[in-house]
Amino acid sequence: MKSVERERGGAGDVSRDRECYRCDRDVAPARLFRLVAEPPAALAHDYQTAERFCCPDCAAAMNLSEFSERLKARARRGEKSPGR
Ligand SMILES: [Zn+2]
């Protein structure tokens, strides 16, 4: 038996933003990438800005994940290979 916590009080399905929009995997909100597609001014009357949240795996699959400068600097210094 599973007790479902549905005591939000009919505010709609706003609780969906804690999962990846591509793979539907449940991901903690703190670990989701925020993707924002902002239309150029010329198309602004046809499109509106879209916002999606996806997991790090999907961001990497779309080449949208970029490592931080800190990690890149470490890789440049050759600390990636464990050879001594
Ligand atoms: Zn995903």
The answer to whether residue 4 sits within a structural domain is: no
Interval between CA 26 and ligand 1 midpoint (Å) = 9
The answer to whether residue 51 sits within a structural domain is: yes
Interval between CA 59 and ligand 1 midpoint (Å) = 7
Interval between CA 81 and ligand 1 midpoint (Å) = 28
Domain count of the chain?
1
Residue ranges of the chain with pLDDT lower than 50?
7-14
**Amino acid 39: pLDDT:** 96
Interval between CA 55 and ligand 1 midpoint (Å) = 4
DSSP state letters, the chain: -------S-S--SGGGGGB-TTT--B--GGGPEEEEE---GGGTTT---EEEEE-HHHHHHTT-----HHHHHHHHTT-SS---
Q: Residue 6 class from Cβ within 10 Å (0-12 exposed, 13-18 middle, 19+ buried)?
A: exposed
**Amino acid 11: pLDDT:** 42
The answer to whether residue 43 sits within a structural domain is: yes
Residue 65's domain comprises 15-76
**Amino acid 61: pLDDT:** 94
**Amino acid 16: pLDDT:** 52
